[in-house]
Amino acid sequence: MRHLLWFRNDLRIHDNPTLKAACQPGAQVLGIYLVNHAALRAHDTASVRMDFDRRSVAVLAQQLAHHGIPLIVRSVSDDHAIAPLLATLRAQFHFDHLFVSREYGPNEQKRDMHLQQWCLQQQIRWHEYDAGCIMAPGLVLKSDGTPYQVFTPFRSRWLSLVAQNPLPDIHALEGFHQQPPLSLEPISIDGSEHSSLHALWPAGETEALLRLNQFIDQELANYHQQRDLPALPGTSRLSPYFANGSLSARLAVHYVRNISGQGAQTWVSELAWRDFFQHILYHYPRVGKHRTFQLHTEALQWSDNTENFERWCSGQTGFPLIDAAMRQLRNTGWMHNRLRMITAMFLVKDLWINWQWGERWFMQQLIDGELAANNGNWQWCASTGVDATPYFRIFNPWTQSRRFDPQGNFIRYWVPELKDIDPSALHKPPAKGSLSLRYPSPITDHDKARLHALAAFKAVSERT
């Protein structure tokens, strides 16, 4: 038996059902990772995410090599080029089984449907497994068999199912070693424009597991109290590893399932949100096609003020916490989760700019960018999505700043123009010029912007 194992967002050897299924006794296994340039463009994948994925693939190749499994990397221009590439590989390797992990986006679902047909014509067995979610889409349904659209009842059902489903074999390659190992070209690591971030985001499963254990030991107990404070190391920062599958979210839940306390419960709930948005993307593919979940909100008439958008992108809005968060994103490829909500709602409801502009910008910057989570969170903040925040809930950026960065430490770090300002004025600096500040005046009047947003949302809601 010759098996081709196509790695996607499952770059790990622990709790990888696709890898375990492919590595059957007596099988000869070849791994492949495809760089699909059209897909990367379509998803606005950040260059820092591509760099992180490339480094993660190199680590995976080293892990697989210990078991005699080679991993090759190939580039394709688009989805249409995949079948011809597979045909070439088959002529070389003579594989008769293809193993993949499911992906839930509409483009990926369409791609796999066509590839399954191609495999059928070529007499290649197609094997598909769920490796990206804790509970796969289709498993968490209401009593009438329909998908949940509200998170709280979804989480309740999800938790009961997680408790009933013990983790499968954790080490997918235990006892497997391919003899003789195939001899193919090694994966090389070239220089990177993001090399300055490599120490901040080391790649690979070993690093991910180390960070998971450190988080459990040092931060988990207080997670519910500190997760909203960006100046503290209160979050796990594991999202990049979940995003490309270097770390199994199911394995992470397994690690904490017997830990009591509100910190563990809150963190598991956050992982449930990640599953929830994956399920929404699967059941309602329109959200992955630039459509709102709440279709009536497509009637909203957004501002096209590109200057305001650029100031938001560059962290020059005159709202210190907003600017600090946006600068963190540009410089690290990551943003604290609380700040993702605050900055998103500010763009939509204070600047009245289409949430899709922000969704795209985030994907172009984030090392942990995922279509389902990014879209779900943006639509939640914009009050256009599933289980969205009510349109009349609008964050006050000054209040959010005082509440979640009370000492101003996060602001001072990322907005050094304000490092010497009096603490009482830090969250809402005086007008430009009064203290010779090198910091812009507020880009908008929050109170007026709030009234405009309320009126616009109320108008479209009344027409439904």
Q: What's the CA gap between 270 and 462, in Å, rounded?
A: 33
| Bridge partner residues of 28 (DSSP) | 2
Q: Are 343 and 326 in contact (CB under 8 A)?
A: yes
Residue 33: strand pairing partners: 7, 73
CB 244 within 8 A of CB 371: no
Residues 20 and 191: their CA atoms lie apart, in Å, by: 33
Residue 437, judged by CB atoms within 10 A of its CB (0-12, 13-18, 19+), counts as middle
Element (H, E) at 74: strand 71-76
Catalytic residues: 270, 273, 302, 337, 355, 378
Q: What does each C-alpha distance from 374 to 114, 125, 298, 307, 355 come to in angstroms?
A: 27, 34, 19, 24, 11
Q: How far apart are CA 458 and CA 462, in angstroms?
A: 6
Q: Residue 145, Cβ neighbours under 10 Å: how many?
A: 7
Tokens 């009591």, residue? 260
Amino acid letter, residue 202: P
Task: Show the tokens assigned to 72.
Answer: 């090759």
Q: Report yes or no: 217 and 259 within 8 Å, Cβ to Cβ.
A: no
The CA distances from residue 335 to 49, 74, 339, 369, in Å, are 14, 31, 7, 11
8 Å CB contact between 77 and 37: yes
Angle at 102 (CA atoms; ends 98, 106), nearest 5 degrees: 120
Q: Which two tokens stand for residue 320?
A: 């210190």
Total Cβ atoms within 10 A of residue 322:
28
DSSP conformational letter for 30: E
- CA nearest 11: which of 195, 248, 175? 248
